[in-house]
């Protein structure tokens, strides 16, 4: 699969433009946390409740009935972060915004860049697949309803994408991925202690992929007590009029 130069006469290459393979990155980070730093992962369990009260150790209750105690609890539950906050008397107004991507079948592909073509965008997905997005389709999504690769809307996507890469028509769409973006109600990232639940720290943003490297550094600095000024505009206190700030204590450096 390649871009057809007889149909696409002008291409602007943005050298800094790129994408992140978020699943692979998350997997590698979790593996490193376990192998290098002794983290423990509890898979397949849901956090049912978070208890964060002033003067008490924060605790997390899991769906297998176990309870974990912690210096503090970090809420990075993405679109479910608002629900998780409400389970601990925290306040976090998060909207859920659905988005759909289409992944081609497997074929040798020469695509190495993000392509923003009229109406459709494309990028590599592994060495042999292409991911396609037709932004106008997002508004047709309904939470809880899956789309399959035989959905009639896939034809619309292939029609647009094959204007740029004609062989996509032969490869077709193999899978449809529907994701949910967490959008804080004012559109701005939320980073910091919840003013209503002592020891509960939120990290929620729509730009979770782009901002992850800088957020990771700033959040670590924040949790160890240095209060980076870059985070001041993003504090959760803004959702609670004149609320007293009741952050948890900083992590003790070991
Ligand atoms: C269509 C689309 C377009 C996007 N575009 C961009 C973009 O242009 N730029 C960008 O930077 N980012 C983009 N994103 C990323 C997105 O907006 C978020 O920023 C990102 O997914 C947040 O990552 P996260 O790790 O905070 O949350 P998530 O990836 O949502 O992970 C949250 C995790 O918490 C778990 N969880 C939730 N509730 C519980 C519970 N009660 N118990 C246990 N576990 C729980 C979930 O299972 C999940 O594994 C896009 C996402 C989509 C879907």
| Residue 176 and residue 105 in contact, taking contact as beta carbons nearer than 8 Å | no
**Atom of ligand 1 minimally distant from the CA of 87:** 41
CATH superfamily of 44-93+186-239: FAD/NAD(P)-binding domain (3.50.50.60)
Better-predicted residue by pLDDT, 3 or 224:
224
pLDDT of residue 58: 93
Q: 160: which residues sit within 8 A by CB, 6+ positions away? A: 117, 118, 119, 120, 132, 134
pLDDT of residue 241: 67
- Please state the separation of Cα 153 from the chain's center in Å: 25
Distance 79 CA to ligand 1 centre (A): 6
Reduced to 3 states (helix: H, G, I; strand: E, B; else coil), residue 175 is strand
pLDDT of residue 33: 96
CA-nearest residue for atom 21, ligand 1, is: 208
| Residue 204 and residue 94 in contact, taking contact as beta carbons nearer than 8 Å | yes
- Which runs of E-coded beta strand occur in the chain? 47-51, 59-62, 67-69, 73-75, 94-104, 115-117, 120-125, 129-133, 173-184, 190-193, 200-204
- CA-to-CA distance for 118 and 104, rounded, in angstroms? 19
The structure's pTM equals: 0.88
Better-predicted residue by pLDDT, 219 or 55:
219
Q: Which of 20, 49, 80 most suits a substitution to test ligand 1, by most atoms within 8 Å of the C-beta?
A: 80
Angstrom CA distances, 234 to 13, 193, 228, stand at: 33, 11, 11
CA-nearest residue for atom 7, ligand 1, is: 207
Q: 128: which residues sit within 8 A by CB, 6+ positions away? A: 106, 107, 108, 109
- Mean per-residue pLDDT for 155-181? 94
CA-nearest residue for atom 10, ligand 1, is: 207
pLDDT of residue 242: 52
Better-predicted residue by pLDDT, 4 or 196:
196
Q: Could you tell me if the CB of 80 is within 6 A of ligand 1?
A: yes
Distance 207 CA to ligand 1 centre (A): 9
CA-nearest residue for atom 8, ligand 1, is: 207
User: Is residue 245 pLDDT above 60, yes or no?
Assistant: no
Q: Could you tell me if the CB of 172 is within 6 A of ligand 1?
A: no
CA-nearest residue for atom 22, ligand 1, is: 208
| Residue 204 and residue 182 in contact, taking contact as beta carbons nearer than 8 Å | yes
- CA-to-CA distance for 17 and 151, rounded, in angstroms? 31
Local confidence band at 233 (pLDDT 50, 70, 90 cut-offs): very high
Rg of the chain over Cα atoms, rounded to whole angstroms, equals 22
pLDDT of residue 13: 73
């Amino acid at each position: 699969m390649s871009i057809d130069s007889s149909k696409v006469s002008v291409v602007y290459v943005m050298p800094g433009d790129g994408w992140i393979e978020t699943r692979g990155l998350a997997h590698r980070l979790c593996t490193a946390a376990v192998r290098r730093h002794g983290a423990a992962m509890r898979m397949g369990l849901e956090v049912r409740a978070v208890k964060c009260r002033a003067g008490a150790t924060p605790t997390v209750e899991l769906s297998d009935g176990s309870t974990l105690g912690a210096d503090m609890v970090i809420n990075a539950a993405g679109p479910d972060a608002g629900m998780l906050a409400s389970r601990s008397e925290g306040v976090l107004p998060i909207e859920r915004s659905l988005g759909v991507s289409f992944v081609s079948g497997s074929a040798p592909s020469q695509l190495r860049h993000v392509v923003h073509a009229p109406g459709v965008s494309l990028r590599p997905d592994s060495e042999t697949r292409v991911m396609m997005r037709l932004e106008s389709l997002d508004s047709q999504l309904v939470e809880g309803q899956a789309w399959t690769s035989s959905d009639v809307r896939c034809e619309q996507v292939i029609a647009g994408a094959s204007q740029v890469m004609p062989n996509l028509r032969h490869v077709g769409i193999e899978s449809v991925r529907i994701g949910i973006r967490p959008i804080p109600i004012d559109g701005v990232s939320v980073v910091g202690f919840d003013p209503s639940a002592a020891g509960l720290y939120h990290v929620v943003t729509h730009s979770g992929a782009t901002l992850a490297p800088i957020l990771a550094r700033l959040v670590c600095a924040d949790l160890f007590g240095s209060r980076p000024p870059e985070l001041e505009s993003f504090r959760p206190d803004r959702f609670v009029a004149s609320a007293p700030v009741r952050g948890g204590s900083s992590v003790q450096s070991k």
